[in-house]
Structure 1
């Protein structure tokens, strides 16, 4: 985290409102298990109904996890502070396992900022699937200026059943596939569907995410032996009929060498992806209606099987750069179903330079009311712009 003069002054003025983890016994020597002391600081803030927890420079081994953060808390890792996971568990959850806050009424108004969060997913004994940070049933969450490294299996950040969440200027480096998790996202946007989807706590009321912004983040490899770049940068892979993730904005992010999708917008509405760069990725952007053959995703909240998808509306993919695609899929693809169209789509002003293995540049299928315009498309081994089973299309002003 960069400490500007203004931010430093702000911090100094509020030291009287703060709690340091070292005052609760944290050592920061990289050997002592500092998780109990850090949790003690977080618990103190909970009793105060909210305050600021400051982590001074140092290496803090966390071998008693997860840490639990509560409402109205600001957790700041100062420059030079590093959390190192010492047990195969999630690092941080917003609340307790037995809590019963539904909707967006759980522990919110939380800021998590700064530091290196090293999950050590390739280290002996630490390769079981676990999160770094997992948030659910919350509103007003800000996560900024973190570097999250070498997560095994699950996600660096999960925003589940969250309203007004921001992930800003973070770096997501390194991933370990635990054997059946080659589709994991660094940042997952998800809903409270079941304990298998969100294991932190219930209730499982199928509440989706709304008003999520992810900006100026980097997704790629860490260089640690035994790790790869993230399979997917940002996305979702579960759904419930009658529910959508809404108002998702991805702005100014960089995705490098992502094997599958930089962004996989599954069952999202009111989606914006703009000013991002995708370098050497399997595919850049996928917009996908609920998959008809996924029998869990085609159920309603009460468990009724619909055997149907649902329409997915209002998406804009604008002003992005896609370079050196490796051909996992089309560079930009919008894929609906017979019972669930992609509606009101704009793919405009993008630059696509390269895609391998006969994959297309832009592909729309089962879409309606779509505009594909003013894109520059070069070095594509498949079709430049491809459309199927779609209507009400405007394709104009592109250079191929």
Structure 2
């Protein structure tokens, strides 16, 4: 089947003949089984010289692999460039591998397609399939194609795939409606010069250790002026409406035309240990608005908008983005341990409208803009007679902030900030049940034991930032 394997099989059979007939049958049988597990695109007439159109030949190889029982894997010889002009597709493929071995699918002279409808390689209704070590490249960018797309994928792996210059999404796991794909790993991949790097809307999707680079600042589009909706360079990694249990970890995202990591209304998201630099808009944007699921004509009231629910943003490094971490219509959010350096006219961390139960703790924020707060929490506002909701139940605590304006927040946000050696400032309402242990600004004194309801049994002494006592706050016990 494969020239190298056929040569190996011939050598094995020849050696067995010299040694005796008893050895021949097992060796030959093992080699045959190995060959029967693969289909080479060369066996179906593909050339791989970068000149001949190999679309029909590769599709024939894919069809042959899919027609086998069980399904066979597909082999691309290394180093070859296979020119294609329209979509390649597989449906119902299971328990097999598409092995690129460093080969390239080159989209050239692409047949016309509606925007982002066609894909260079599309797999649908697939299970336990791996796509690996394959490069997909668009050389003339005349049509709007995706690179690699999986739909209704279960227990699949996309590994070491590189997608360059396609005009829509580089790598996508996308279902309509969302959530049909389950348990997919995207790892070690690279997307460059695409409108969107990686997009998903399934369940249990892990996007780990990839590199998304748009190089927007060096494009002709950047030279023409501000970013536009029709941009060829949009978001880096997208976790779209309806996603559940998604992990985005250890990725590098650079110079995107809009956000580095952009997410919509979803559940259970972890964004951890990513490096995001030079994006034209947000570094990490959590946008839980219902508008992504509703038609504009539905006119959903503000109070009924959906939220992103259950989000952790931790250990990320964000530098030189226009706004670095932005939370909008998100519920139960933890933002902790991130390093943010903002050089532009925006904030490091913004907890925006419609967000609820948000904790911003232990981050390092360096804000070069002297006129904007490093950490910003949106208050309730009235705009043209309409009440615009703010963020509620927000705690901002123990962040290391280098900025002219540390934070801006409404009065009901809890702000606990160390302002100097052994100094702590606290703003907002602080509620505690049980014991409260504190040092460097809050002292505890005792008085007589309680003898009747309402008796003062202990006091909390509060100090100013300069260390001066502001007096004692009584704490009461009720006794029977």
- Structure 1 residue 376 and structure 2 residue 364: aligned? yes
The equivalent of 1:197 in structure 2 is none
Displacement of 1:147 in angstroms is 1.1
* Equivalent residue runs for 1:47-196 within 5 Å: 47-48=67-68, 49-57=70-78, 58-68=80-90, 70-72=92-94, 73-79=96-102, 81-86=103-108, 87-88=110-111, 89-95=118-124, 106-120=125-139, 123=140, 126-152=141-167, 154-161=168-175, 162-175=181-194, 184-190=195-201
Q: Do the aligned residues in 2 keep the contact of 1:331 with 1:355 (CA within 8 Å)?
A: no
Asked which structure has the greater CA Rg, the reply is 2
* Aligned CA distance change for structure 1 residues 377 and 14 (closer, same or farther; 3 Å): farther
- The TM-score normalised by the length of structure 1 is 0.76
Q: Do the aligned residues in 2 keep the contact of 1:298 with 1:309 (CA within 8 Å)?
A: no
Displacement of 1:13 in angstroms is 9.3
Q: Do the aligned residues in 2 keep the contact of 1:361 with 1:380 (CA within 8 Å)?
A: no
The equivalent of 1:319 in structure 2 is 315
Q: Do the aligned residues in 2 keep the contact of 1:370 with 1:392 (CA within 8 Å)?
A: yes
- The TM-score normalised by the length of structure 2 is 0.64
Partners of 2:334 and 2:184 lie apart in 1 by 24
Displacement of 1:69 in angstroms is 5.2
Q: Which is helix-richer, 1 or 2?
A: 2
Alignment match of 2:60 (pick from 36, 40, 63): 40
Partners of 1:269 and 1:107 lie apart in 2 by 24
Q: Which has the higher contact order (CA 8 A, sep 6+)?
A: 1
**Which secondary structure state, in structure 1, belongs to the residue aligned with residue 377 of structure 2?**
strand
Partners of 1:313 and 1:390 lie apart in 2 by 14
Partners of 2:131 and 2:66 lie apart in 1 by 15
Partners of 2:35 and 2:333 lie apart in 1 by 49
**Which secondary structure state, in structure 2, belongs to the residue aligned with residue 41 of structure 1?**
helix
Alignment match of 1:250 (pick from 230, 248, 251): 248
**Which secondary structure state, in structure 2, belongs to the residue aligned with residue 26 of structure 1?**
coil
**Which secondary structure state, in structure 2, belongs to the residue aligned with residue 372 of structure 1?**
strand
* Equivalent residue runs for 1:183-332 within 5 Å: 184-190=195-201, 209-221=202-214, 230-236=233-239, 239=241, 244-282=242-280, 283-291=282-290, 294=291, 297-298=293-294, 306-307=300-301, 308-325=304-321, 327=322, 330-332=323-325
The equivalent of 1:19 in structure 2 is 39
Q: Do the aligned residues in 2 keep the contact of 1:70 with 1:110 (CA within 8 Å)?
A: no
Partners of 2:184 and 2:342 lie apart in 1 by 34
Partners of 2:105 and 2:221 lie apart in 1 by 19
**Which secondary structure state, in structure 2, belongs to the residue aligned with residue 260 of structure 1?**
coil
The equivalent of 1:193 in structure 2 is none
Deviations 1:290-340 (A, max 9, x none): 24xx4x7226xxx98755422321101100101122x2xx2101111xxxx
* Aligned CA distance change for structure 1 residues 315 and 380 (closer, same or farther; 3 Å): farther
Partners of 2:145 and 2:57 lie apart in 1 by 22
* Aligned CA distance change for structure 1 residues 304 and 260 (closer, same or farther; 3 Å): closer
Q: Do the aligned residues in 2 keep the contact of 1:148 with 1:156 (CA within 8 Å)?
A: yes
Partners of 2:259 and 2:215 lie apart in 1 by 18
Displacement of 1:254 in angstroms is 0.3
Partners of 1:12 and 1:83 lie apart in 2 by 29
Displacement of 1:380 in angstroms is 3.9
Displacement of 1:166 in angstroms is 1.4
Partners of 1:226 and 1:144 lie apart in 2 by 31
Partners of 2:160 and 2:221 lie apart in 1 by 22
Partners of 2:204 and 2:221 lie apart in 1 by 32
Partners of 1:315 and 1:334 lie apart in 2 by 10
Ranges in structure 2 where 5+ consecutive residues have no aligned partner:
1-30, 112-117, 176-180, 223-231, 379-389, 402-480
Deviations 1:234-268 (A, max 9, x none): 1156x4xxxx2101101100011113111111112
Displacement of 1:371 in angstroms is 1.1
Displacement of 1:390 in angstroms is 2.1
Partners of 2:119 and 2:143 lie apart in 1 by 10
**Which secondary structure state, in structure 1, belongs to the residue aligned with residue 146 of structure 2?**
coil
State the number of aligned residues: 329
* Aligned CA distance change for structure 1 residues 226 and 393 (closer, same or farther; 3 Å): closer
Partners of 1:362 and 1:316 lie apart in 2 by 14
* Aligned CA distance change for structure 1 residues 311 and 64 (closer, same or farther; 3 Å): closer
